[in-house]
Each structure stands twice: as C-alpha cells, then as structure tokens.
C-alpha cells in the first residue's frame, strides 16, 4: 500500500518544470470570514506518496471535509496508476469550500483498501467569524 509522506493545505503552489520540485505558497490552517455560511477562497491539498510495493496496481485517494458538527462530505477522489518512480505527487485543487460553522473543520485524506477507506491524514482548517466591530 502507498505511504503518505506529507500533506498540507496551501493557497497556491508552483512546480518547477525542470526539477519537479514544489514550492508551497501561503500554507493555510485557518480562515476568517465576515459571516456564515461562507465560501472560502480556492486552496490546494498537496501531498507526496511513497509507492513502495504497489506492484504497479492503481490506488485511489479521496478527500473529505468534516465540519465541527455533522457529517463529512467527500470532495472528490483520484485514482493513481503508479509509474516507474518510487514517489508520486498528488495535488488536488479545491474550489471555494462552503462552510456553515465556526470552529475546527477537518480535511482528511483516505486511501481505498479491500475493507473500505483508511484515513491517512487529518488536516485541521479552523474557521473564525470576524468581528463586526470596527
């Protein structure tokens, strides 16, 4: 099974054409909104996977956003077909996420296994309502 090396949320990223190195621009751990519900600006979920002994078999990764109260909603899934390298960068561009509650939201990444989805990362995304006072 592939192993997650890192995962983070950022506002933008740049991948160097020659070296394939990635620059993460403005990591995101919180957002301040004027009112709720709100739509957050677009963000990236960036990750690096060590493919290990996948035997060349495809694997599927999903992203879910779970609010402070309530059920999580799957944002999407991506199937990866391993190539000849040991590492695979996977970057999801997430359009504006809709949030209804203030507090700790969780963006989780899971990998599909024979017995279902196995969560491999849980990234907090705090949402705060800005003050109405000037």
**57-110 pLDDT tens trace:** 889 999 999 999 989 999 999 998 877 788 889 999 999 899 999 999 999 999
**How far is the first Cα of the chain from the last one, in angstroms, to the nearest whole number?**
52
Residues whose CB is less than 8 angstroms from the CB of residue 63 and which lie 6 or more positions away in sequence, other chains included: 45, 74, 75, 76, 77, 92, 94, 107, 108, 109
Q: Which CATH class is domain 3-129?
A: mainly beta
> Would you state the structure tokens that stand for residue 54, as one six-digit string?
């996948």
> Is the backbone peptide bond immediately before 37 cis, with ω within 30 degrees of 0?
yes
Model pTM? 0.89
20 vs 99, more confident: 99
């Amino acid at each position: 099974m592939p192993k997650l090396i890192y995962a983070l949320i950022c506002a933008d990223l740049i991948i160097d054409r020659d070296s394939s190195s990635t620059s993460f621009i403005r990591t995101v751990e919180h957002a301040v909104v004027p009112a709720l519900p709100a739509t957050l600006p677009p963000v990236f979920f960036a990750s690096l996977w060590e493919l290990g002994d996948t035997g060349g078999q495809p694997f599927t990764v999903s992203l879910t956003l779970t609010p402070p109260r309530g059920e999580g909603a799957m944002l999407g899934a991506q199937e990866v077909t391993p190539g000849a390298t040991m590492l695979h960068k996977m970057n999801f561009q997430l359009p504006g996420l809709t949030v209804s509650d203030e507090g700790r939201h969780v963006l989780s990444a899971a990998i599909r296994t024979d017995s279902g989805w196995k969560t491999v990362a849980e990234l907090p995304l705090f949402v705060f309502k800005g003050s109405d006072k000037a």
